[in-house]
Amino acid sequence: MSANLQYRVKPVSPEAHLFEVTLRIVQPDDQGQLLVMPSWILGSYMIRDFAKNLVTLSAYSDGIPVAWEKQDKQSWLFAPYEGELVVTYTIYAWDLSVRSAHLDTTHGYFNGTSLFLRVEGQDDQPCEVELIKPDGDGYESWRVATTLNGLQAPYLGFGSYQAGSYDELVDHPVEMGTFDYSEFDVAGVTHAVAVTGRHEADMERLCADLKMLCESHIEMFGELPEMDRYLFQVMAVGDGYGGLEHRSSTSLICKRADLPKKGEEKVTNGYRQFLGLASHEYFHLWNVKRIRPEVFKSADLIKEVHTRLLWAFEGITSYYDDLSLVRTKRIEPESYLELLAQVITRVQRGAGRFKQSLADSSFDAWTKFYKQDENASNAIVSYYAKGALVALALDLTIRKETAGNYSLEDVMRTLWERHGRVDVGVHEQDVEMLAMEVTSIDLKAFFDQAVRGTEELALETLLEYFGIGYKLCPAKSPDDQGSGKQPENSETEAKPVLGARVKNNNGHVELAVVLDGGAAQQAGLSAGDTLVAINGIRVTNGNVHDLVAAGTPGEPVQVHAFRRDELMAFDLKPQPAPADTCHLWLLESPEPETETRRNEWLGSA
């Protein structure tokens, strides 16, 4: 028997970036059917108004046109008619991201929240989806990569698929085109990688590395969530980065240069970043997709849904994503420490960490984290970056206080057993209470400071206990993001700095961010100002920092800049570069018990 809700998706005009969707409702509401387009997608906490991409819409019942009226920006009410209701509409798809939909003559991709109207009152009804190949000889070689359950569709082919509900329907993104495809087995479940875009990736090595990362996460939680298969959807581009988790797949965007090339054995910085991204999204199979806030279980995709727990769901995931790289020996400990030092540096360089707590950062993700402006680093803190550091501090604190008998992994496994596996939502205090229960440690003061407060974390002391050296130094250059090595004496010398971040705007030097308390702010310079000259010397993107560094701290230099179309002069007193760049390193010849603790943490035991 056919499902009551039947969707048909066809790339009707790839050259114009248009998907055509036909929705057949076998038993519509006899009082008039309301259809709604989501405003946001789970995992990305910003109102995106997907309805703005709906171009045309028509409706029929038994061949007779059905009247409809738009109720608001994303809802349509159709007049009551006896019999089936068939609604046909087109969606403009030209957002090359993991959150929306993209279609051209080379491929098609979509998340269900971008294409599928929700039938009010029938959210829990089974759905059928028929995927149709575009017309034309040029599309004969197109295939389909998705984890939707096939109904009448060949392997990797167009045809009919099914979902048990609307929520399930929109949680299986679809890639169609001429992608490269490889499979590997993990815990008896087929995993696959589909790479779209021009690339020269070594698919065999890519699968082997991903397999080890997947197995590492499964070992941590004790089992793989129930699923038929898992899919890494990868879009390789010239310059891009991003990922979004789903219940049995993930969508990733990366630079094609970041993928491993045949004959290349080392892990480049780009490939390290890609593996960390893939690791992050796979960890979300447990932490977010199944261990999830109670408010996300039946999330209204029309309006914001707030929680103060994003630090735990994204921060803890961000901690384990890179840690798994060293534990699986994809990278060396020094490489992992470099990644960790870069995270610490990013947090240290934002004065917002003193103004916004992690709990508030989580709650305000909709309006602050996802809508950052030029003042963001002065006003907010990232629940990803600082959340990862809190997870690190929590893990090391548990290990230290329990003499290595417990770790954060024990907390995550218990979260899986009590919440994820049995689909019980996580309430606002559950993570903290469970951490204290599992470890028998009073962690209230820790959470008050780390999650609800804005004080600095005691990372230096904790890391030293595990055989890791820690030092904050002035940046050597604008490109210095931290390192996994002990700093030289010369690296502790502070040069005069502008107190602002600059960007290249069509060859001009524009202030992108003016840092709180820095020389630029004290001189009256603002974000958006275009620097022209410093002490009479023309400013370029290549010399701006050198011109400032040549000055003497405290002695003013004259800066000329355009604000809008007005030339202004400023007296700027360069300040010594702050010690905000982190260096981490393996302490040499530690005590045996310290080395044991370090090896157990980094997986080197």
pLDDT of residue 491: 66
Does the pLDDT at position 494 exceed 60? yes
Q: How far is CA 600 from CA 326, 406, 563, 596, in A?
A: 12, 11, 55, 6
Phi, psi at residue 579, to the nearest 5°? -85, 80
Phi, psi at residue 203, to the nearest 5°? -65, -35
Q: What is the mean pLDDT of the segment spanning 223-231? A: 97
pLDDT of residue 186: 98
Domain with CATH 3.30.2010 in the chain: 179-266
pLDDT of residue 557: 95
Instruction: Report the topology of domain 5-176.
Output: Immunoglobulin-like (2.60.40)
pLDDT of residue 198: 96
Q: What is the mean pLDDT of the segment spanning 326-347? A: 98
What share of the chain in percent tops pLDDT 70?
A: 99
pLDDT of residue 470: 98
pLDDT digits (tens, 9 = 90+) for 167-185: 999 999 999 999 999 999 9
Q: What is the mean pLDDT of the segment spanning 368-381? A: 97
Q: What is the mean pLDDT of the segment spanning 129-151? A: 97
pLDDT of residue 553: 77
pLDDT digits (tens, 9 = 90+) for 13-43: 999 999 999 999 999 999 999 999 999 999 9
The CATH-assigned architecture of domain 495-576 is Roll (2.30)
pLDDT of residue 209: 98
Q: What tokens does 189 get? A: 């479940």
Q: What is the mean pLDDT of the segment spanning 457-465? A: 98
**Is 179-266 in CATH node 3.30.2010?**
yes
Enumerate residues 6+ apart whose C-beta is below 8 A from 143.
Answer: 156, 157, 176, 177, 178, 179, 181
Q: What is the mean pLDDT of the segment spanning 71-96? A: 97
pTM, to two decimals: 0.96
| CA 523/CA 575 separation, integer angstroms | 11
Reported as a pLDDT band with limits 50, 70 and 90, residue 298 is: confident
Domain with CATH 2.60.40.3650 in the chain: 5-176
CATH of domain 286-465+589-605: 1.10.390.10
Domain with CATH 1.10.390.10 in the chain: 286-465+589-605
Does the pLDDT at position 368 exceed 80? yes
pLDDT digits (tens, 9 = 90+) for 419-451: 999 999 999 999 999 999 999 999 999 999 999
pLDDT of residue 554: 76
pLDDT of residue 1: 45
What share of the chain in percent tops pLDDT 90?
A: 96
Reported as a pLDDT band with limits 50, 70 and 90, residue 605 is: low
Q: What is the mean pLDDT of the segment spanning 401-423? A: 98
Cβ burial 565-600 (10 Å sphere, 16+ → b, else e): eeeeebebbbbebbebbbbbbbbeebeeebbbbbee
